[in-house]
């Protein structure tokens, strides 16, 4: 039994829905289908979710929301018409949206969560109707009936562990089940959405609860690439990837999907197959706990700009028990999360994401670090990019660092910082942001060409 999830671009139009139907029909193992809200049909198009946020916000502020509501309904209607469906489904969607718009606005978070979630919810109903119209037995399943219970944190729901057992019961239902992604319910019955990557999360939770053999995640790319295709020309496709490797790559900017969203599947040992709705017979990328195939020590290279480093120097730092702890407490007090802390004998560098720091906060932080730690020197540097060279088999591979640093040196790129612990799932280099693309190309060339 497989859980199969489609992203917004796979569900944006009748043409796309026809592809989705073919995909589900051709494999009887594809029992549970998790769907997103309709995405963009073209670059200039709107995502239904964005329209819903706009519409819901206007309703909250007592502004004219009707024109946006009409636009949303038109998106579903166009698909229904193109698919020759009975338009009763559109009336139902219309009523639902109008009821939501007039709902309780005393708690804006909950109001907006319910409004946003209707994108997935109504799409699931429409898709179930379409599948049945095509002669495939399909049932719309609401997450409440399914037993998908979550914490009461609007926009950031966490699944409650008891859900998993309940979800297993879905196996008993006949036919294909169409489940809207992106939300669950509290025990009190309040609808709450997940954070970003919401439909991916729903799919992963279902894959876990239903103990699926495979969680197929259909998107609009053939595979995860070994490097960003916007920078590197025709990068290799990754065939298999461990979950750990994917996390390291996602961390530094691989944006096929949000890696944490897949965690429930990973925890239950369900492998994930990334596939392309527009090219369903391409192999795609398999993500699993361990890798069967080993294409080489390095599986991918990612990079991400937007980092800053704070360099702290103090004579005899390494003799001062508690120095690092005190420094981290100052960061914690300032609500800052840091990424890495490479160190010398008398110095320590903190790497953190720059977007956490306003200018005034920055000055305050530097002063506190200097005064509370009696540091000799505190210097902040902005505009750093982190490069991650990722691969679980690097551990046993003499020469990976040599290859990487040689490649950077040959291209005249200075390494600002290096960090590699015992795990060796990844090697991290800090470079100047201006060198980021050049560095990515150089590293890709070294490991893949």
Binding mask 386-405 for a second copy (x = CB under 8 A): ----------xxxx-xxxxx
Integer CA distances (angstroms), 1 to 30, 210, 261, 335, in order: 6, 8, 20, 44
Q: Are 140 and 178 in contact (CB under 8 A)?
A: yes
CB 293, min distance to a second copy, A: 23
Token pair of 64 as six digits: 């004219």
Q: Are 2 and 178 in contact (CB under 8 A)?
A: no
Token pair of 97 as six digits: 């949206």
The answer to whether 186 is annotated as binding is no
3-state secondary structure of 31: strand
When asked if residue 419 is in the footprint of a second copy (CB under 8 A), the reply is yes
**Complex with a second copy: residue 146 or 407, whichever CB lies closer:** 407
CB 203, min distance to a second copy, A: 19
CA distance 57 to 41: 24
Reading phi first (left if > 0) and then psi (alpha if -120 to 50, else beta), residue 350 is in: beta
Integer CA distances (angstroms), 102 to 55, 59, 114, 122, in order: 12, 8, 12, 17
The answer to whether 332 is annotated as binding is no
CB 325, min distance to a second copy, A: 4
CA distance 178 to 39: 18
CA distance 183 to 114: 9
When asked if residue 296 is in the footprint of a second copy (CB under 8 A), the reply is no
Q: Which has the closest alpha carbon to 69: 93, 87, 89, 45?
A: 93
Q: What is the chain's Cα-based Rg?
A: 25
When asked if residue 161 is in the footprint of a second copy (CB under 8 A), the reply is no
Q: Which of 167, 427, 439, 442 binds a second copy (CB under 8 A)?
A: 427
Binding mask 428-447 for a second copy (x = CB under 8 A): x-------------------
CA distance 414 to 434: 11
**Complex with a second copy: residue 227 or 378, whichever CB lies closer:** 378
Dihedral sign, CA of 215, 217, 223, 225? negative
When asked if residue 268 is in the footprint of a second copy (CB under 8 A), the reply is no
When asked if residue 269 is in the footprint of a second copy (CB under 8 A), the reply is no
The answer to whether 7 is annotated as binding is yes
Binding mask 227-256 for a second copy (x = CB under 8 A): -----------------x--xx--x-----
When asked if residue 318 is in the footprint of a second copy (CB under 8 A), the reply is yes
# binding residues, a second copy (CB under 8 A):
66
CA distance 142 to 117: 11
**Complex with a second copy: residue 81 or 409, whichever CB lies closer:** 409
- Give the largest CA-CA distance in the chain: 78
Of the listed pieces 129-137, 164-172, 174-182, 407-415, which binds a second copy according to CB under 8 A? 407-415
CA distance 122 to 69: 13
Of the listed pieces 57-65, 100-108, 268-276, 319-327, which binds a second copy according to CB under 8 A? 319-327
Of the listed pieces 90-98, 191-199, 347-355, 365-373, which binds a second copy according to CB under 8 A? 347-355
When asked if residue 272 is in the footprint of a second copy (CB under 8 A), the reply is no
Q: Which residues of the shown chain bind a second copy in the complex (CB under 8 A)?
A: 244, 247-248, 251, 260, 263, 309, 311, 313, 315-316, 318-319, 321-322, 324-325, 328-329, 332, 335-349, 379, 381, 396-399, 401-406, 408-410, 412-423, 425-428
Residues at the binding site for substrate are: 49, 120
Which residue ranges make up the annotated binding site for ATP? 5-8, 219-220, 225
């Amino acid at each position: 039994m497989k859980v199969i999830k489609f992203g917004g671009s796979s569900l944006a139009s009748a043409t796309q829905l026809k592809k989705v139907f073919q995909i589900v029909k051709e494999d009887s193992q594809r029992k549970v289908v998790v769907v997103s809200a309709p995405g963009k049909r073209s670059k200039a198009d709107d995502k239904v979710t964005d329209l819903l946020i706009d519409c819901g916000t206007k309703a909250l502020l007592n502004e004219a929301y009707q024109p946006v509501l009409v636009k949303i309904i038109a998106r579903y209607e166009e698909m229904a018409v193109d698919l020759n469906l009975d338009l009763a489904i559109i009336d139902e969607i219309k009523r639902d949206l109008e009821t939501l718009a007039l709902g309780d606005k005393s708690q804006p978070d909950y109001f907006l969560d319910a409004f946003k979630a209707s994108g997935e919810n109504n799409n699931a109903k429409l898709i179930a109707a379409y599948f049945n119209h095509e002669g495939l037995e399909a049932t719309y399943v609401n997450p409440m009936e399914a037993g998908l219970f979550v914490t009461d944190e609007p926009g950031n729901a966490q699944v409650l562990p008891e859900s998993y057992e309940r979800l297993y019961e879905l196996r008993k239902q006949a036919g294909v089940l169409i489940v809207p992604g992106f939300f669950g319910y509290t025990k009190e019955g309040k609808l709450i959405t997940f954070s970003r990557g919401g439909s991916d999360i729903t799919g992963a939770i279902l894959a876990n609860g239903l103990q699926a053999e495979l969680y197929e995640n259909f998107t609009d790319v053939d595979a995860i690439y070994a490097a960003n295709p916007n920078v590197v020309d025709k990068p290799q496709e990754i065939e298999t990837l461990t979950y750990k490797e994917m996390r390291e790559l996602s961390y530094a900017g691989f944006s096929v999907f949000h890696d944490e969203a897949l965690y429930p599947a990973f925890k239950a040992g369900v492998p994930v197959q990334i596939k392309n709705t527009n090219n369903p017979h391409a192999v795609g990328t398999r993500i699993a706990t361990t890798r069967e195939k080993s294409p080489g020590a390095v599986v991918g290279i990612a990079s991400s700009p937007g980092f800053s480093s704070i360099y702290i120097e103090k004579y005899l730092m390494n003799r001062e028990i508690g120095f690092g702890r005190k420094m981290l407490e100052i960061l914690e007090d300032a609500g800052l999360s840091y990424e890495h802390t490479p160190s010398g004998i008398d110095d320590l560098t903190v790497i953190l994401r720059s977007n956490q720091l306003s200018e005034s906060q920055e000055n305050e932080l530097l002063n506190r670090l200097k005064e509370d730690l009696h540091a000799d020197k505190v210097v902040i540097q902005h505009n750093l990019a982190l490069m991650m060279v990722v691969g679980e088999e690097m551990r046993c591979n003499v020469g990976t660092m040599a290859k990487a640093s040689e490649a950077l040196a040959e291209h005249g790129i200075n390494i600002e910082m290096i960090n590699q612990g015992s795990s060796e799932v990844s090697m991290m280099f800090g470079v100047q942001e201006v060198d980021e693309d050049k560095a990515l190309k150089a590293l890709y060339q070294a490991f893949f060409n």
